Chain A
Amino acid sequence: MSVLELKNISKNYGAIQALNGVSLTVEPGEVVGLMGDNGAGKSTLVKVIAGNFAPSSGEVLISGQTVNFHKPLDAQRAGIEVVYQDLAICNNLSAASNVFLGREPTRQFGPFQIVDYKHMQNRAVELFARLKSETRPRDLVKRMSGGQRQAVAIARALLTDARIVLMDEPTAAISVRQVAEVLNLIRQLSEQGIAVVLISHRMPDVFEVADKVIVLRRGQLVASKNASDSSPEEVTGLITGAIEAA
């Protein structure tokens, strides 16, 4: 069964039609590359899935069940995690603290509920191991590479047992070596049965990891096909409109 299904999703802001009848499915463990030019509706689509706002019409199904998200927390509870482009990370805290930010485990100490650093530490080691990342839980995030910072953000998704991870331009503005690191992280998520929706402008990165590419143009879905059946040239044509649909 599809972990995520969108049926005829439309979203309009007054007279502006941001999304027009978009339908798609995402399977468990599938990596989906969501592509399109600026203003094609990628961000709007992601925000609908992440519960930032409700669609004007259409249905969102998680594992076959219709859901109505009113706020991002609803989506999070349903197993959807967003890894933000500018990374919701605090540079002044350790990697482990960042992974557990807002969800710190506590234990009883006299009259106080104190933060259980040992538990955080051990869980973080485990999560980074699952991601095959060399991130050290005690290091301050500000001393880390872009790839390690991504690992911290992604480990957060593993912590909540997310089923779908939405990533907005995770490979923008980082070095070539770090891009490879991030793509590896995406593969690790996929291997654990977590679906990844990857929003990116960078064609080579998408084709490197995606099982499926979805192209949006002016709010409409113009293509949804296996990456192996497509090519960067075709997708470029679809994005610009040189190719009508595929």
Chain B
Amino acid sequence: MSNSSLSDAINNSEHRSFISRIASQQTFWVFVAALLACIALTLMTDTFATERNLFNVTRNFAFIGIVALGMTAVIASGGIDLSVGSTLVISAMTVSVTMASGMPFWAGCLLALGVSLVVGAVNGVLIAYAKMPSFVVTLGMLSIARSLAMVLSNNKMIYQFGPDHDFLLWLGGGSTFGLPHPLIILLILAAFTSFAFRWLRWGQHLFAIGGNEQAAVLTGIPVSRVKVSVYMFSALMAGIAGILEVGWLGGVTTNLGQSMELSVIAASVIGGANLAGGVGTAFGAVIGALLIEVIRNSLILLGISTFWQGTFVGSFIIIAVAFDRFRQARGYE
């Protein structure tokens, strides 16, 4: 019997200590980088560590972070969703137009999230059942959804939101216990996503599909249905971010969320999601979004032209993927 308990102990043992496990996580190093950037900025500028600036940073990164949660699910399943920025604007426009016409917030909210889910479902069905590449489908949707938002609003700015005007502005722009609402919602959604990735069969299946789709099919996982749900999840996150962003800005135009997909993909990839599929964490996406926003904010505070922002975000994606290649080439991972 002692023999079997010994082998049980071996079977159940973790092979590496807690610290070495943490240190091998990309998320950890990205977090360290973000922390160092914050400390450096605090020392170099007297504007970074002000309450007002920190409030702005946390709120700004929350929108990218929320959308990055959905993007991480898509990337982990082996796909990509380029239409998130357009989904965000169509959701924002739907809630705005609905509320501007005198409807209450809940009606606009439900309608906006419904529209987002439809966008995600169309993406998902074309990708999962018509077997089209996610890159192509969502690139098409990027154009379609934004164009529909323009049709819906006649390309006008909307800044009057009917009877629940103040509530919408409070939801997106207000704070509770000193925390901006978008940040609170990000944390709740991140906790839920993290839970779903780890503990729901849905999470297991989406990672299996990203790891080896053929294997997922052969073992009887409902691959097509899971894929559709993943794109719907991504669109839902973009839809939620869209509603909050309208409240924060207090007005909406059809160029909201333009080229946002780039920052969102960067946040996911920096946070450890592997574009080849099968790897990614919700927490990583949040940290990735934080790092991007801190860098973006620092460029402004340090007086560097905002024209440089695209260079930084783009370089981040390339560097993060290069790191991945490097690790694979050395046989780690």
Contacts and interface: CB of A to CB of B under 8 A. Distances in A.
Interface stretch (B40-48, B118-126, B214-222): B214-222
A142 to B, nearest CB: 7
A97 B215 CA distance: 12
Given A90-B212, A102-B221, A115-B201, 4 more contacts: A102-B220, A103-B220, A115-B203, A136-B10
28 contacts: A76-B220, A84-B218, A86-B214, A88-B212, A88-B219, A90-B215, A90-B278, A92-B211, A92-B279, A93-B204, A93-B211, A97-B208, A101-B204, A102-B205, A102-B216, A102-B220, A104-B204, A114-B199, A114-B200, A121-B12, A125-B11, A128-B11, A129-B4, A129-B7, A136-B13, A136-B15, A138-B15, A142-B333
Nearest to A76: B220
Interface string B212-239: 1011101111000000000000000000
Given A113-B200, A113-B201, A114-B200, A90 B211 contact: yes
Contacts, number: 81
Contacts of A13: none
Contacts of B10: 136
B218 A106 contact: no
Interface residues of B, number: 30
Q: Which of A73, A76, A93, A156 has the most CB of B within 10 A?
A: A93
A101 B278 contact: no
B219 A101 contact: yes
Given A101-B215, A115-B199, A91 B11 contact: no
A114 B195 CA distance: 9
Interface of A: 73, 76, 84, 86-93, 97, 101-104, 106, 109, 112-115, 121, 125, 128-129, 136-139, 142, 156
Contacts of A125: 8, 11-12
B51 interface: no
B278 A106 contact: no
Nearest to B196: A112
A47 to B, nearest CB: 13
A104 B201 contact: yes
A103 B218 CA distance: 12
Contact of B220 (A73, A90, A92, A129): A73
Interface of B: 4, 7-8, 10-15, 199-201, 203-205, 207-208, 210-212, 214-216, 218-221, 278-279, 333
Contact of A139 (B7, B15, B205, B214): B15
A125 B5 CA distance: 11
Contact of B208 (A90, A114, A128, A139): A90
Contact of B207 (A87, A90, A114, A121): A90
Contacts of B215: 87-90, 101
Contacts of B221: 101-102
